[in-house]
Structures are given as C-alpha cells and as structure tokens.
C-alpha cells in the first residue's frame, strides 16, 4: 500500500472518532437541557398549585422529586391516626403527671411537670372513678382527699390550657389502715423558710421551763462514767463552730431536721440543718436528729417521719431519731389533741422511722410525759426527758435527760440545751461527710448497743 493510501486511511479513522465524540457530546447536552426544563416546569406547577407533599409531586402520570427519605419527616407515616403535639407542648414540654399516695382512707394527688416538680398556680381538677370532681382550691399543685372508702380508684386529670395531661386514668389503691412506711415522693412537700412566714409557723416552745426549780444545773456534766455529755441545736442557736464545740468536751449532738408549721401545717426544713449536721460530723461528733411535730393524726405523723428519713439519708445517724412533742401555749394546731391521738401520732412517727432502720424515740417534758402521753404504749422507744432540776423526779423510764436550756459552750453564742445520754453507743463517726450524690444506708444501731428501758429516774434510782 502506497504512502498516500495510508495517510488517507489514517485521516478517515481520525474523522470517524471525532464524529462519534461529537454525537455523544451533543446527546448529553440535549439531555441536560430537557432535565432543566422539567425541573422549571415542576417548580412552576408547585408555585401555582402547592401540590408537593412529603417530597413527592404528581404531574399528570409522572412523579417528580423521588426523595426516598421523605417519610422520616412525616409523623403520620407509620401511624395515620397520630395527633401531633401542639406547638406549646413541643417547645415547652409542659407534660403533666400524677404522683399519688394513700396512708389511711385518704388520697394525696401531686401534679408534677416532666422534671418531677410540683406545678403551682393552676386551677387543677381531678375526677375520681369518672364522676366525682375535686379541685386544687389553693392552687399549690396538691389535692388532698380525706375520708375515702378503702379500695381501688381511677384518677383522671382534667384538661388544662397550655399543658398536655395524661391520656389515660391513673390507678391507686386507697388503704384501709396505716402502713408505717415512708412516702417516697415526700420531698415535693418539703418547704424552706423562704417559702413560708416563719414567725407564724415556727414558735419557740419549752414546756420544761414551766416545771423548773432553782436546783437546775447549767454547767457541763463531764466525767460521768455512766453517761455521755451532749447538746441539741436548731436554727435558734445560729452559726456554730463545731470544732470548738468538740474541743469543749461535747460527745454527741441532737440536731433539728425541721418542723411542721404551727399555723398551716406545712413541712419545713430547719434552715441550719444541713450546715449543722455536716459540721458536727466533720468535727467528729456523733449525731442524732429530732423533728418538732404538729401532726394532728397518724397520716401527718407518717409524713413527718418520711421527711426526716428523706433529709437524713446521706448522713450517718448514730443516735436515735426523736419526735419532739410539746405544746405551744394554745397557739399550735396540735395543742388540743387528746392523749390517745397524741400517743398514736408518736407511735406512727416512731414506727415509720424504725421501718427505715433507725432507732426512734420521743422527746417531751416531765409534765407532758405524765399527762399528755400514754407512756405504756411508747415503752418500746427511747425516751428523752426534759426536766430542769439537779435530780429528775420523773418516775418513768428514760434514756436521755435534757437537764438545762441555759448552758454555755465554746463555739456557740448564747444559751444551749445540755443533755446526758445513758445509751450505750460507740462515739465514732466517718472522717468526712458523705457527698450528696453518694447514698449510704441508715445508721444501724445494734440492739445490744442500746440499753433496754430501765427506771433511771424516780426515788430509788434518782442519784446517778
């Protein structure tokens, strides 16, 4: 083959390659143009008719916008009957729940938000068994119903504007008789003094002063081989330097957890409780606690005991937990109780305390132990006697003796109560206070470490 023929063949091949490439390029450009026209047409139709839903649009028989993940944003894809939350519920999360407890033929209903906090300031209404309505008249988020028949109940919370209420009724069994166990959600009922009028609720009381004589000893009674020297404190003692108290010879401290309001009956934490119990334990002083009662029935007594155990759960309680039973000169809501009811209140408190593993006791003055309580029914509990004289003349059993309210000790400004304890308790405490997030078991005081009730007072054994 000549050179001219070869060149001709080569050029023909080149031209054929260029032609094929041109045809392919032209086809691609035409296809892209058609696709853009279709998208513009779809966009125009969307603007006119708003026909695009969930990433899909119908144009004649053609489907445009095949988004295979569009169903993920459709709340009704799997449940066509689902009703979406309102915008308020979505944004604020205002979902309500009911917390309910029953102690004895009663029902306490607490309305809480999705953070578990009481919701106050609303006109809540609940319906029992589909027919009887009860209002939250004081708008505090708690509805308390008394005198119910024991049995099973269904409770429905009526609609409240701006909130999402449970769509099903809550069920609870109203108890026939008291079970001396703590109320788990009692924290919702505990108030601080910032939330109440403390001048009306926390009235000072000391029945032992009315019975005191001139023989009262106001100094520390140290060195008694049969007793330990201690103090009891509350907010009335204000700031305390616990290291100085320890160095002064104090061997134990009984600290007030709180009180029930004398007027409203609210459960209120002593504003110095946490500071006092942490300070005493850090200083190496074993502690017990007490609660000033204004309970008018056993239901309220269980509430008070529940509050005490809730607030003491993180601390080592070495000494007993006492219910402080005193009068307020006619100004207290519990002053008018009869002996039977007051004794039942004390029993309910102590039984509930002991159900949590603590040792329980009753504090009162000589006159009240003699006249206002049936001590035969309280013989299983530790008795803390308040009697201000050099030798008690109380004839009953007691294990601790508050012998003055006029003591003085380094680390506390002003007067303080002095006590002697005849309980056989080892004076040891943890080196540090447990952190709040660390749960520890309640103090377990073995039976052999606490003497059985014995007649310490009285004429025969008056001289310690």
Confidence of residue 23 (pLDDT cuts 50, 70, 90): confident
Q: If you write DSSP's letter for every residue of 130-159 in order, what string do you get?
A: TTEEEE-TT-SSEEEE-SPPSEEEEEEEPP
Spatial separation of the C-alpha atoms in residues 89 and 374, rounded to whole Å: 55
Residue 362, pLDDT > 90, answer yes
Residue 1, pLDDT > 70, answer no
Helix, strand, or coil (residue 298): helix
pLDDT at 343: 99
Radius of gyration (C-alpha) of the chain in whole angstroms: 38
Residue 443, pLDDT > 70, answer no
Neighbour-count burial for 24-44, b at 16+ CB within 10 Å, e otherwise: eeeeeeeeeeeeeeeeeebee
Domains and CATH numbers, the chain: 87-174 (2.60.40), 186-449 (3.20.20.80)
Residue 27, pLDDT > 70, answer no
Q: What is the pLDDT of residues 34-56, one digit of tens each?
A: 555 544 444 444 444 444 444 44
Q: If you write DSSP's letter for every residue of 173-224 in order, what string do you get?
A: EE-SS------TTGGGGEE-GGGS-HHHH-----GGGGG--TT---S-----
Q: Give the max Cα distance, the chain.
A: 150
Q: What is the pLDDT of residues 164-214, one digit of tens each?
A: 999 999 999 999 988 999 999 999 999 999 999 999 999 988 788 888 888
Confidence of residue 382 (pLDDT cuts 50, 70, 90): very high
Residue 293, pLDDT > 50, answer yes
Q: What is the pLDDT of residues 91-138, one digit of tens each?
A: 355 899 999 999 999 999 999 998 888 999 999 999 999 999 999 999
Residue 308, pLDDT > 90, answer yes
Instruction: Name the residue among 119, 126, 118 with its Cα closest to residue 166.
Output: 126
């Amino acid at each position: 083959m000549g050179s001219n023929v070869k060149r001709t063949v080569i050029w023909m091949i080149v031209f054929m390659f260029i032609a094929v490439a041109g045809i392919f390029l032209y086809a691609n450009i035409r296809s892209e143009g058609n696709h853009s026209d279709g998208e513009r047409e779809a966009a125009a139709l969307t603007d006119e008719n708003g026909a695009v839903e969930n990433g899909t649009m119908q144009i004649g028989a053609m489907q445009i916008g095949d988004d295979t993940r569009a169903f993920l944003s459709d709340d009704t894809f799997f449940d066509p009957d689902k009703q979406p939350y309102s915008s308020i519920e979505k944004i604020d999360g205002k979902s309500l729940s009911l917390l309910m407890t029953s102690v004895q033929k009663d029902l306490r209903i607490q309305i809480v938000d999705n953070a578990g906090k009481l919701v106050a300031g609303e006109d809540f209404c609940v319906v029992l068994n589909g027919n009887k309505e009860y209002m939250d008249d004081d708008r505090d988020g708690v509805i308390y119903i008394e005198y119910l028949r024991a049995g099973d109940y269904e409770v429905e919370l009526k609609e409240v504007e701006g909130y999402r209420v449970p769509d099903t009724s809550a069920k609870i069994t109203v108890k026939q008789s008291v079970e001396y166990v703590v109320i788990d959600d009692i924290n919702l009922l505990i108030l601080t003094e910032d939330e109440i009028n403390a001048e009306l609720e926390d009235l000072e009381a000391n029945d032992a002063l009315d019975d005191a004589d001139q023989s009262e000893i106001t100094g520390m009674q140290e060195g008694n081989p049969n007793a330990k020297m201690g103090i009891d404190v509350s907010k009335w003692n204000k700031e305390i330097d616990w290291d100085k108290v320890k160095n002064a010879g104090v061997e134990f401290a009984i600290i007030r957890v709180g009180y029930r309001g004398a007027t409203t009956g609210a459960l209120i934490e002593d504003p110095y409780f946490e500071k006092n119990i942490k300070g005493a334990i850090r200083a190496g002083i074993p502690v017990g606690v007490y609660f000033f009662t204004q309970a008018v029935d056993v239901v309220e007594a269980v509430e008070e005991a529940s509050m005490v155990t809730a607030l003491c759960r993180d601390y080592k309680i070495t000494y007993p937990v006492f219910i402080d039973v005193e009068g307020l000169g006619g100004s207290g809501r519990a002053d008018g109780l009869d002996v039977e009811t007051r004794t039942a209140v004390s029993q309910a408190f102590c039984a509930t305390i002991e159900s949590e593993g603590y040792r329980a006791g009753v504090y009162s003055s000589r006159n009240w132990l003699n006249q206002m309580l049936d001590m035969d029914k309280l013989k299983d509990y530790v008795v803390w006697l308040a009697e201000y004289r050099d030798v008690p003349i109380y004839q009953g059993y007691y294990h601790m003796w508050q012998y003055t309210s006029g003591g003085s000790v380094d680390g506390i400004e002003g007067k303080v109560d002095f006590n002697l304890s005849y309980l056989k308790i080892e004076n040891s405490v943890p080196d540090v206070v447990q952190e709040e997030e660390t749960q520890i078991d309640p103090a377990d005081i073995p039976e052999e470490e606490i003497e059985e009730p014995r007649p310490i007072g009285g004429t025969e054994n008056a001289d310690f």
